[in-house]
Amino acid sequence: MTKEICKTCSKEFVIRDEDLVFYEQVKTVPPIYCPECRMARRLLFRNERILYKRPCDLCKKDMITLYSPESLYKVYCHDCWWSDDWNPKSFGRDYDFSKTFFEQYKKLQKEVPRLGLAAFKNIQSDYTNGSAENKDCYLIFASDYNEECLYSRLLQRDKQCVDCAFLHESELCYECIDCRKCFKCMFSEQCRDSSDLLFCYNMRNSQNCILSTNGRNASNSILNIKYTKEEFEKKKKEILKDYESIEKAKKEFVELKKNTIRKFTMQTKCHNVTGDYIHNCYDGVELFDTFDAKNCSYMKDTEKPIDSMDCNNYYYNPHFGYNIMGALEGSMLRNSAFVFYSNEVDYCDMCYNLANAIGCISIRKGNYMILNKEYEKESFDKLRTQIIAEMKKEKDYGQFFPPEIAPFAYNESLINDFYPLTKDEAIKRGYRWQEKTTGTYGKETIKNEDIPKSISGVDENILDEILVCSDCNKNYKIIRAELEFYKRINLPLPQKDFECRHNDRMKKRNGMKLYHRSCMKEGCTNEFETTYAPDRPEIIYCESCYQQEVY
């Protein structure tokens, strides 16, 4: 194990002996940045929720896109990007050893058209990104196979759910986080196989519960005490009667969770791993929102990865990947973004079905390519070896694309969700900052105090009004599907815009920093790595003590 100083943030970080073995396997060099800064570089390539309107640079029709109108890139709509009306290989050029690799790559990057939005096979779901097979959805992100869902992130196979995150196979849910197979649940977290929950935490196989935690097979429970069905309905009606009563219940729920026993990490069927929100993972460190991983480390939002490190949004059996932002399948992927069904690629972006390549952009099928130009195998191997040798001299090879290559500014990209920086801090670290973001201010036609506090007092005229967020003062509107949902489950209108509601949800999940702590159960000496900081009020137990107490 060696200790290094990060070249970006100047913090000390560790390179494990196991890491060095991996770097040798994938034919790369050790990092010169800490795990956090390595992730920041990758996530600068992922704008997930900041949407703009601008014309397609080919068909000239207006489109919804991730790229601002001021962006210097050529951007095509979905149909044009996938069409035969242009050829990404026509932008190929010879490699010039009098210039650095990134100088040449940046020039190519401004010429090759980019895909405006990552959305596939959606029906009436234009305002979505990182999405596929959704129907009648609006402002959902990184979500697949959903129907009539709104204002959410990371939904899978849900129906009529609003303002949720990390939700799976659920229906009629509102403000639920990390829940699975739930029906008609609201303001609940980490619940499964349950229905009609209101302000509940970590419930299993339960129904008709309010302000209850760690329950198993519970019904008609209020504050973990058994009541009659009539008493449950009375309490539910009392909480949902208006905006103020819900805000009061939110505060009560926060206090309730502070005194709730928590397992040190949200993980199941894992062996020899550290991290949080993980399932069926073996041998690795710093895994987050990762499932079915084997011998992987420093990963976030991944599924079924094998023998890989430093990857985000990396899915479906990819292996031997390093420093990857976005991949489906593939092997020996290095320092690349959005490389799908590809093998043996370095420093490529938005490429499909590509093998043996370095420095390519928007290739849809190719082999033996450098800067979008195709070569014979022998010529490719020789030139690639020379390029990597030059990059190693400049100490560029093995590190992800530098910030000046990133297509998005810090405050546009997903990294701002996890490690927010001020404008000055971001610029000091070499990141760009987007001054003109989407949204309007000062256009409201109704004040918050004039909005009915109960949904029963709201009529369709609200669809014509412009509201103002109580936190950021940004304007927003209520859409018809949203109003119908609130009326169906008897919820008052929100007084914050989507982005502020999203930020509130994300704050309820733990971050990605690990702390070494001991079990808080008296007499237990077990130690562990956890995302619960030592100064937090929750009661944190080790696995065995938690199982004895809760299961």
DSSP state string for 97-115: TTS-HHHHHHHHHTTS-EE
pLDDT computed for residue 437 by the predictor: 73
What's the confidence (pLDDT) of residue 550?
Answer: 87
Q: Can you tell me the distance from the alpha carbon of 256 to that of 538, in angstroms, rounded to the nearest whole number?
A: 10
H helix or E strand, kind and range, residue 253: helix 243-258
> How far is the C-alpha of 409 from the C-alpha of 427, rounded, in Å?
10
Alpha carbons 88 and 101: distance in angstroms, whole number:
19
Compute the distance between CA of residue 108 and CA of residue 103 in angstroms, rounded to an integer: 9
List, in order, residues 6 or more apart from 22 with CB less than 8 Å away: 297, 307, 309, 322
Residues 82, 77: Cα–Cα separation, whole Å: 9
The residues pairing with 64 across neighbouring beta strands, listed in sequence order, are: 53
DSSP 295: S
Q: Which pTM value belongs to this model?
A: 0.94
Scanning 478-532, the segments in alpha helix (DSSP H) are: 480-489, 498-507
Q: Rounded to 5 degrees, what are φ and ψ at 190?
A: 55, 45
Cα(329)–Cα(302) distance, integer angstroms: 11
Nearest Cα to 327, choosing from 335, 353, 337, 295? 337
Q: Cα–Cα distance between 261 and 522 in angstroms, integer?
A: 13
Question: Which two tokens mark 1?
Answer: 């194990």
Helix (H) or strand (E) holding 17: helix 17-25
User: 290 and 301 in contact (C-beta within 8 Å)?
Assistant: yes
One-letter amino acid of 346:
D
pLDDT per residue rounded down to tens, the chain (551 residues):
899 999 999 999 999 999 999 999 999 999 999 999 999 999 999 999 999 999 999 999 999 999 999 898 999 999 999 999 999 999 999 999 999 999 999 999 999 999 999 999 999 999 999 999 999 999 999 999 999 999 999 999 999 999 999 999 999 999 999 999 999 999 999 999 999 999 999 999 999 999 999 999 999 999 999 999 999 999 999 999 999 999 999 999 999 999 999 999 999 999 999 999 999 999 999 999 999 999 999 999 999 999 999 999 999 999 999 999 999 999 999 999 999 999 999 999 999 999 999 999 999 999 999 999 999 999 999 999 999 999 999 889 999 999 999 999 999 999 999 999 999 999 999 999 998 777 899 999 999 999 999 999 999 999 999 999 999 999 999 999 999 999 999 999 999 999 999 999 999 999 999 999 999 999 999 999 999 999 999 999 999 999 998 87
User: Residue 520, exposed/middle/buried by CB under 10 A (0-12, 13-18, 19+)?
Assistant: middle
Sequence ranges of the domains in the chain: 2-33, 119-263, 276-401
Q: What is the pLDDT of residue 215?
A: 95
Q: What is the pLDDT of residue 163?
A: 98
Tell me, what's the pLDDT at 435? 85
Query: Hey, what's the torsion of the CAs at 303, 368, 25, 362, to 10 degrees?
Result: -30
**SS3 (DSSP) at 291:** strand
Q: What number of H helices and E strands is found in the chain?
A: 12, 35
* Sign, CA torsion 174/50/337/133: positive
What order do you get walking across the sheet with 219-222 strand by strand?
128-129, 138-141, 150-156, 165-168, 177-183, 192-198, 207-210, 219-222, 225-226
Which residues, including other chains, have CB under 8 Å from residue 370's CB and lie 6 or more apart? 95, 357, 358, 359, 360, 380, 383, 384, 387
Closest CA to 279 of 142, 207, 171, 180: 180
d(CA 496, CA 484): 18
Neighbouring-strand partners of residue 550 = none
Among residues 410, 464, 463, 472, the alpha carbon closest in space to that of 440 is found at 472
Joined tokens for residue 183 = 């029906």
